[in-house]
Structure 1
Amino acid sequence: MARYNAWQNRQLTEIVKQMDDAALDHDHGAFFSTIRGTLNHLLWGDTMWMSRFCDDVAKPEVGGDQSTTYTETTGVWQAQRFRMDGRIRIWSETLSNVDLLGDLTWYSGLTKSEMSKPRALCIAHLFNHQTHHRGQVHAMLTAGGHPAPVSDLAFMPEDA
């Protein structure tokens, strides 16, 4: 799933960097309104979850209520997205079965409380969250007349 995530984000990067600000910031009526807002939320979420999984990843400096403005420009988003995808891939390649055991406990800014869930469930959530929001971006791209990435796992290149 880490390979798939990086492959999807590379495709999105190639599309997004060709788009102007008006297209990226057009309100499509989606949950996070715009393509840029959704991509920022997704990067923010990945960063937040990875900060819970890895001691060397700092949690975002802004709360979830500011996740849609996590990065200011496409260039900043692209650089941070590339770094985060690499970190997720390295982390995932070092996971073992024992790393999936037990609970993960964290403070949730969303619920304003401490939460504890099975670690394996939280890891699955990381990848499910990515797929969910990239689907929203895909819909906004096609609604706006822009190309959308190939998203079928069966078509992921072996070297992705």
Structure 2
Amino acid sequence: MISVEYVQLMARYNAWQNKALTETVEALDEDEVTRDRGAHFGSIFATLNHLLWADRLWMARIDGWVRPDGGISESVALYPTLAAWKADRTRADARLVLWARNLRPAALRGDLTWMSGSTGREQRKPIAVCVAHLFNHQVHHRGQIHAMLTAAGAHPAPTDLAFMPEVI
């Protein structure tokens, strides 16, 4: 379904995009970043928090990271400040890249079983699907953030995978 090379590419893409979004967000006033914009999670910052929370949750399931506290409704308040969020986002992205770099094909075979807070029941899915979901979820919410940044008058960097540095 997916390959180690795909996972490595997407981990690098995730880090590249998060760095670019962070630079754009840091250039805005705090009021712009925390303003409710009618998105699913409300503000740019709430969506950034949710995305980091979800990355940490999926990697807790996939690779044994520490599970973040709370459920989806609490995910929007993972960090109270942009500086605290940025520090953990940077660490998480570096860990994802390192995990992908060391990944072996066998790790993408078999099933992953977990208790889902959103469905209230145990789930069992192919691990490759869960890894693909991790990256798809990131792209989905970064798209929302990109749209909110544009609406705030910012000019986020391009998001095209084909133009990521070092894409061969």
- TM tier relative to shorter chain: over 0.9
**What 5-or-longer segments of structure 1 have no aligned partner?**
none
Cα deviation, 1:18-77, whole Å, max 9, x if unaligned, reads 22221011111111111001100000000000101112x100022211111111000001
* 1:156 maps onto 2:167 in alignment: no
- In the alignment, which residue of structure 1 is the partner of 2:6? none
Deviations 1:114-160 (A, max 9, x none): 1110000000000000000000000001111111121001111118x
Q: 1:124 aligns with which of 103, 123, 132?
A: 132
Distance 2:115 2:157 in 1: 35
In the alignment, does 2:116 pair up with 1:108?
yes
Please, what TM-score do these two structures have when normalized by structure 1? 0.95
Name the structure 2 match of 1:65.
73
Q: Which position in structure 2 is the counterpart of 1:20? A: 29
Q: Secondary structure at the match of 1:106?
A: strand
Give the whole-Å Cα distance in 2 for the aligned partners of 1:16 and 1:151. 15
TM-score by length of 2: 0.91
Counterpart for residue 84 of structure 1: 92
Distance (Å, rounded) in 2 between the aligned partners of 1:112 and 1:87: 29
- TM alignment of 1:11-50, pairs within 5 A: 11-50=20-59
* Matched residue type, 1:111: T
Equivalent residues of 2:25, 2:149 under 8 A apart: no
**Runs of 4+, deviation exceeding 6 Å:** none
Instruction: In structure 2, list runs of 5 or more residues that go unmatched.
Output: 1-9
Between the two proteins, the alignment pairs up a number of residues equal to 158
Q: CA deviation at 1:15?
A: 1.1
